[in-house]
Structure 1
Amino acid sequence: MRLSYSYPQILKVAFPLMLGTFIQSIVMITDAAFLSRYSTISFDASGNAGLIYVTLFMGLTGLGDASQIIMARRIGQNEPKSLNAVLQSAMLVIFSFAIAFFLLIQIGTDDFLINYSKNKELAQEQINFLSIRSYGFFMGILMLSLNSFFMATGKTWVIMVSTIIFAISNIILDYLLIFGFWDLAPMGVKGAALASVISEGITGLVLLILLFNSKELKTHGIFEQFQVTLKSLRQLFKVGLPLVIQGFFALATWTVFFIWIEQMSTYDLTVSQNIRAIYFLAFVPIFGFAATTKTYVAQYMDIADKKIIPKIVHRIQFLIIVFLLLIFHGALLYPETLIAIINPDPAYIEDSAYILRLMFGSILFFGLSTPYFQTINGSGNTRVTLLIEVLCMILYIAYAYVTIKVWKWNIEAVWTVEYLYFISLGVFSLLYLSIFNWRKKEY
């Protein structure tokens, strides 16, 4: 049965996802705040190394998103029993990618970081972080596949509950492992990585318990039989492979951006890591409504009335802007206070606050662009979103290279690249939706 697209129902679906993202943001802010007080080098290292990890993890997220899109489409087509094959196939494929990404980090990143980092101490701290954090890929198998199932069915409160458990366990473990307790010596950046891995493992188990106690387990025949099928695998790769590549390169571009900033100076890197940590507050409504958009578009793809999806998109855009103003207004009105939470060192507050205030407008553009982009994803036209992402990334990396390496702008000016990326994402997505017949996609 399709979800209602009334404002209350859209909020009912999106709010738990937003709350979940908000809790994750608090975790990241807390993590950053702990590490900045432990050591500036550890703070910078966890930021840059975290981007490398997340770049690869986005590949797994792309597969999870693909399974969400396919399962939501099957619900819209009234084929509830077909979800079991999609879910099990997704778990198998995510497991395969997790092994590949784990080995890549364990074998291939040490020399890269040593060779390309200007600060060798920073490089070693990144290696220390990644050597432990890479085990999180295996924790993502349950988290991503089960999150996708619950989002496809609209049961998003489950994600909220599991995220709360993740946050509580992560914050407690972060403090204990970073600074040490009883006879355990402070672990610093290694402690932050270990805390995240353990918390993700706990979250995966919670999701599994909630699944086995849900009515959806029987409704959709989940795990009633082993059902990894070639058909489901083909569908998953058809929809998911562009999302894997898209997620990987989107974050890889940001990773390169931060590597170039580190080569400018460690001061510029610390300022930028302050901004990155606060950025995640803005992602609360954007990511929450992005997942909601994909579910709604996938469920309504086969409906005859062509005006419904545009109406849903416009409602989601309105809600995103409202929640951005509620959640992220501090970036405009009191950025110094937000930065001081992350990093209280007065040496970094003024420049960090200036950039954060400057970036407020770019986030509004991102909020308007995201529903258009996710409409294309939800329709199954993931090759198109990959193409759009690649075009935006080319513009982003070219602008960043010229401003950092050629013109050698200051860090405040360099960050204007975010406007170029977010505006381009919206313009290219809207052009595609306006010109091409995107509703014919079958998967």
Structure 2
Amino acid sequence: MLGSAAQNVIALSDSVFLYHLSEQDFAAIGFVGVFYLVVAAIGYGFSRGGQLLIARRMGAMEPEQVGRIFYSMVYYELGLAIVMFLFMQYGCYYFFSLFIDSDIIFYKSLEYLEYRSWGVFFSYIGVAIIALYTGVARTSFIVIDTVVLAVVNIALDYGLVFGHWGLPQMGIAGAGLASTVAEVVAFVVFGLYILFDQHARIYRLFHLPKVDFSLIRKQYKLSFPIVAQAFVGLGSWFVFFGIVENLGERELAITNLVRMVYLILSIPCWGFSSGVNTLVSNFIGQQKRQAVVPIIWKTAKLSWISTMIIALPVVIFPTYLLYPLLGGEDMSLITDAQPIFWVLLIILSSFAVGGVFFNGLVGTGATYYGLKIQTWCAVFYLAYIYIEVNFTHGGLAWAWASEIFYWLAMIILTYRYLVSNRWHGFRL
């Protein structure tokens, strides 16, 4: 759960400190934070293809193939990181101008990315390492590394956003720098762990292979639909924030608060979704296809129960439970967001099941069908939001309700495909 939520942890800590800085900074991080989540999701999506291949090889008792798959994944992620870095440095000025009306939000978003963009190199290699250890089903150190990431990020956010401990007061730019440094530290810690990992030799991690373009193409072919799914899913969320920004900075700040709570409460589902990828692929590698749908059902039930355990108290008592993070003289933002929290509870209920089912489908290798499902759902999602915000004026609650319809459609379409057994013919 923690490994899958690394970017969520960063986004959360950045948002909390900027909430205490100013409402404008908090609104800006809501917009640019979602944009960076899309960037991170692209790298994460490409790593999932490698994760599926590693899990499949482990299920087939071929651990010596793991290192070759891992390094092919790293080579590709590095090339992709260069492309994304150049886009964030030189293309975002023009890209953001298409979505943002407020000059303050526009320039604060660019200020954040000036430092945050450097972290993409360590983020992309980091997700490759996470994919490696998730694929071989040895995830314990991911917890430690994510804790290191969170602690460093929180400490540097406190110092750089407000100018404590002799550090310069950089505001939203400080949050971007803090997150980048935290990713560097987490990467170094995981690198040291690999050096002392006894299983690394079994996986041939100390043998640097030549660039295998055929294997990279295979991973790309498997991963591209996953990346496109992430781009469509989070990209539509990014457009949603752009549409809400047109309603005003206050509405954007409320939406960012709800997003922040959403990120916290969705952590169980992200973890179970990543885990079900490995389980499904590993079971297929063992020629146990009959166990796939039952294990997805069991994982979905665990995901829903875990999500509801942490979500219900937050939704029912948001003022009390969010006060330690967001406490201050003005709690009106939480009060104004409370109606959206009830909508969020229904969203989380459907997401906890839909996210696991969808990632179970991805684990079978049917990634192109998954892309088809998500694209149609996203088109419906964006059309609904555009009409709701611009024509019906039902308010933020009805705009957020689009997430419910999105995940219900995902559950129905994914379940129908899984029980049809059409995925049995896929080979990795």
Of 205, 219, 223, the match for 1:222:
205
The one-letter code of the counterpart of 1:391 is: W
Q: Would you say 1:178 and 2:178 are equivalent positions?
A: no
Q: Would you say 1:90 and 2:73 are equivalent positions?
A: yes
Structure 1 pair 413–338 and aligned structure 2 pair: CA distance change class (3 A): farther
| d(CA) in 2 for partners of 1:166, 1:226 | 29
Shift of 1:336: 2.7
Q: Where do residues 337-348 of structure 1 align in structure 2 (5 Å cutoff)?
A: 337-340=320-323, 341-342=325-326, 344=328, 345-348=330-333
* Identity of matched residues, %: 25
Deviates more, 1:63-72 or 1:303-312: 303-312
| d(CA) in 2 for partners of 1:377, 1:193 | 32
Q: Would you say 1:148 and 2:169 are equivalent positions?
A: no
Of 396, 420, 425, the match for 2:405:
420
| 1:110 aligned partner | 93
Report Cα offsets for 1:27-65 as digits up to 9, x if no partner: 543332211111111111112111111112211111111
Of 314, 327, 343, the match for 2:310:
327
Return 5+ residue gaps in structure 1 as ranges: 1-17
| Contact 2:2 2:142 (8 Å CA) reproduced | no
Of 28, 32, 40, the match for 1:57:
40
| d(CA) in 2 for partners of 1:255, 1:336 | 27
Report Cα offsets for 1:156-185 as digits up to 9, x if no partner: 111101001101111100100000035433
| 2:148 aligned partner | 165
Deviates more, 1:331-340 or 1:70-79: 331-340
| 2:298 aligned partner | 315
Of 174, 184, 194, the match for 1:191:
174
Number of residue pairs the alignment of both structures matches = 426
| d(CA) in 1 for partners of 2:156, 2:118 | 16
Shift of 1:206: 1.0
Deviates more, 1:109-118 or 1:208-217: 109-118
Shift of 1:22: 6.7
Structure 1 pair 77–194 and aligned structure 2 pair: CA distance change class (3 A): same
Return 5+ residue gaps in structure 2 as ranges: none
Q: Would you say 1:294 and 2:277 are equivalent positions?
A: yes
| Contact 2:78 2:125 (8 Å CA) reproduced | no
Shift of 1:141: 3.2
| Contact 2:159 2:165 (8 Å CA) reproduced | no
Of 227, 233, 238, the match for 1:244:
227
| d(CA) in 2 for partners of 1:78, 1:233 | 22
Of 350, 355, 372, the match for 2:335:
350
| 1:11 aligned partner | none
| Contact 2:3 2:143 (8 Å CA) reproduced | yes
| 1:392 aligned partner | 377
Structure 1 pair 144–210 and aligned structure 2 pair: CA distance change class (3 A): same
| 1:72 aligned partner | 55
| d(CA) in 1 for partners of 2:388, 2:322 | 25
| Contact 2:265 2:310 (8 Å CA) reproduced | yes
| d(CA) in 2 for partners of 1:47, 1:337 | 23
Q: Would you say 1:373 and 2:358 are equivalent positions?
A: yes
Q: Would you say 1:122 and 2:105 are equivalent positions?
A: yes
| d(CA) in 2 for partners of 1:237, 1:24 | 23
Give the secondary-structure state (helix, strand or coil) at the position aligned to 1:219: coil
| Contact 2:10 2:150 (8 Å CA) reproduced | yes
| Contact 2:3 2:130 (8 Å CA) reproduced | no
